[in-house]
């Protein structure tokens, strides 16, 4: 192998975490000076800001006019839990899981809600379940983009328009970077800290008219915590979907989200955001194609994420090692680039197979991804030299 020299430059922004993710290019605290700090979120100025965040979300994501959009507590997790606890139980449910967060929703439904008629369809990391076997007479719960596996559904063609059940989609690392077919989705959830690089702790829930009908005609058998309740007396609490939030939001975080949405509009809204994420993925894909020691965890290009890109080390000297040693080797690569301040937070998720995870969402610059690949090549050689020395 030809010796790899230490790169002469570093990424302008070395933040490649998969959540919270890199702030938008040009971001600064000065851009948030219009935040109504110290004011009530229920005052006119607070409600105006919250409604603006909802309206901009609809505009940028191209959400249909008859779908409700609400700001809810506890990030994407809170939004998903709100949907599961409020909507499930009216009919059977198919639970799809191919990474850790999908597995978490399976656990909630099977062990917390204890639904006896839940079908579990699983696939290992890097794969999707057989989508042709999903029963759409049931409700269906799935992640659009598996944040911890780098595997996404290629499209919504597998979901029938005449389904009887609801589709509940955790889209937190897909929204703003991948095109969602809302006609096939009844509940969509996400959080601000992913593709737009917003701050954590706030979730979003998008409801179709079918989901609203379920909410207003079905009462689950279990009690609902206050922060999950979207109805009162059998009627939808409409205020949630115009900015009258269930609990107190951070108006600084709201301002930051608005700032990111306005930036998104400047670069072409959804089309511009998708283009940036796709360009970042292409940089990595071109590098992987010419680099023998690394490959994508996703088994096929059509299911490969353009946001949370998961990579595995395939060098024979590393794959021959026990699993713990392979994990240690990857952590060595991560530590080397972090020590040089060339990349932060690129280790794979703790429950995933050993590997790297590089965020390629729209707030990341392609030039930084390209520079990162040079550092990864150099760090790999450093780690492999240490491995050989220890043998």
Interatomic CA distance for residues 5 and 21, integer angstroms: 29
| Mean pLDDT, rounded, for 114-140 | 98
Q: Which residues are registered as beta bridge partners of 139? A: 93
pLDDT for the residue 1: 47
Interatomic CA distance for residues 121 and 277, integer angstroms: 29
Interatomic CA distance for residues 204 and 209, integer angstroms: 17
Residue 68 backbone class (left: φ over 0; alpha: ψ -120 to 50; beta: rest): beta
| Parts of the chain belonging to CATH 3.40.640.10 | 31-265
At residue 391 the predicted structure's pLDDT band, cuts being 50, 70 and 90, is confident
pLDDT for the residue 2: 61
Asked whether the CA dihedral 35, 39, 41, 47 is positive or negative, the reply is negative
Q: Is pLDDT at 179 greater than 80 in this prediction?
A: yes
Interatomic CA distance for residues 357 and 277, integer angstroms: 15
Q: Is pLDDT at 132 greater than 70 in this prediction?
A: yes
Report percent pLDDT > 90 for the chain. 98
pLDDT digits 0-9 by tens, 152-171: 999 999 999 999 999 999 99
Q: Which residues are registered as beta bridge partners of 188? A: 169, 206
| Parts of the chain belonging to CATH 3.90.1150.10 | 269-390
pLDDT digits 0-9 by tens, 11-62: 999 999 999 999 999 999 999 999 999 999 999 999 999 999 999 999 999 9
Q: What is the CA radius of gyration of the chain?
A: 22
pLDDT digits 0-9 by tens, 68-117: 999 999 999 999 999 999 999 999 999 999 999 999 999 999 999 999 99
User: Can you give the pTM of this predicted structure?
Assistant: 0.97
Q: Is pLDDT at 9 greater than 90 in this prediction?
A: yes
pLDDT for the residue 105: 97
CATH tag, 269-390: 3.90.1150.10
User: What topology does CATH give the domain 31-265?
Assistant: 3.40.640
Interatomic CA distance for residues 232 and 108, integer angstroms: 24
pLDDT digits 0-9 by tens, 334-371: 999 999 999 999 999 999 999 999 999 999 999 999 99
Which string of b and e fits 286-312 if b means at least 16 CB within 10 Å?
Answer: ebbeebebbbbbbbeeebbbbbbbbbb
Interatomic CA distance for residues 14 and 331, integer angstroms: 17
pLDDT digits 0-9 by tens, 280-330: 999 999 999 999 999 999 999 999 999 999 999 999 999 999 999 999 999
Contacts of residues 178-181 at CB distance under 8 Å and 24 or more positions apart, as own/partner, are: 178/144, 178/145, 178/152, 178/274, 178/277, 178/306, 178/307, 179/270, 179/274, 180/61, 180/144, 180/156, 181/155, 181/156
């Amino acid at each position: 192998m030809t010796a790899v020299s230490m790169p002469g430059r570093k990424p302008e922004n070395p933040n490649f975490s998969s959540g919270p993710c890199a702030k938008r290019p040009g971001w600064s605290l000065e851009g948030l000076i219009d935040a109504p700090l110290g004011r009530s979120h229920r005052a006119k100025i607070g409600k105006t800001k919250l409604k603006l965040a909802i309206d901009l979300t609809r505009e940028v994501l191209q959400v249909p006019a008859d779908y409700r959009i609400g700001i809810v507590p506890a990030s994407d997790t809170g939004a998903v839990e709100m949907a599961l606890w409020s909507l499930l139980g009216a009919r059977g449910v198919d639970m799809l899981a191919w990474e850790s967060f999908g597995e978490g929703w399976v656990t909630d439904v099977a062990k917390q809600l204890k639904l006896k008629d839940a079908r579990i369809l699983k696939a290992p990391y890097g794969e999707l379940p057989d989508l042709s076997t999903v029963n759409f007479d049931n409700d269906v719960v799935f992640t659009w983009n598996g944040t911890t596996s780098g595997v996404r559904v290629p499209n919504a063609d597998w979901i029938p328009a005449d389904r009887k059940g609801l589709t509940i989609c955790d889209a937190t690392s897909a929204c703003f970077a991948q095109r969602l077919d809302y006609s096939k989705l009844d509940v969509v959830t996400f959080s601000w800290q992913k593709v737009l690089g917003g701050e954590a702790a706030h979730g979003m829930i998008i409801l179709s008219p079918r989901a609203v009908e379920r909410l207003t005609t079905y009462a689950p058998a279990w009690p609902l915590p206050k922060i999950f309740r979207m109805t009162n007396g059998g009627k939808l609490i409409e205020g949630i979907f115009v900015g009258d939030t269930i609990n107190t939001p951070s108006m600084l975080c709201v301002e930051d989200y608005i700032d990111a949405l306005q930036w998104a509009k400047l670069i072409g809204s959804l089309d511009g955001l998708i283009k940036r994420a796709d360009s970042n993925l292409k940089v990595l894909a071109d590098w992987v194609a010419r680099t023998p020691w690394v490959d994508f965890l996703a088994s096929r290009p059509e299911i490969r994420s353009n946001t949370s890109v998961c990579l595995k080390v395939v060098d024979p000297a590393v794959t021959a090692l026990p699993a713990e040693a392979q994990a240690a080797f990857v952590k060595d690569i991560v530590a080397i680039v972090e020590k040089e301040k060339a990349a932060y937070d690129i280790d794979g998720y703790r429950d995933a197979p050993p590997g790297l995870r590089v965020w390629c969402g729209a707030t990341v610059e392609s030039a930084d991804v390209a520079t990162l690949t040079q550092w990864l090549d150099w760090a790999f050689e450093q780690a492999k030299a240490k491995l050989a020395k220890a043998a």
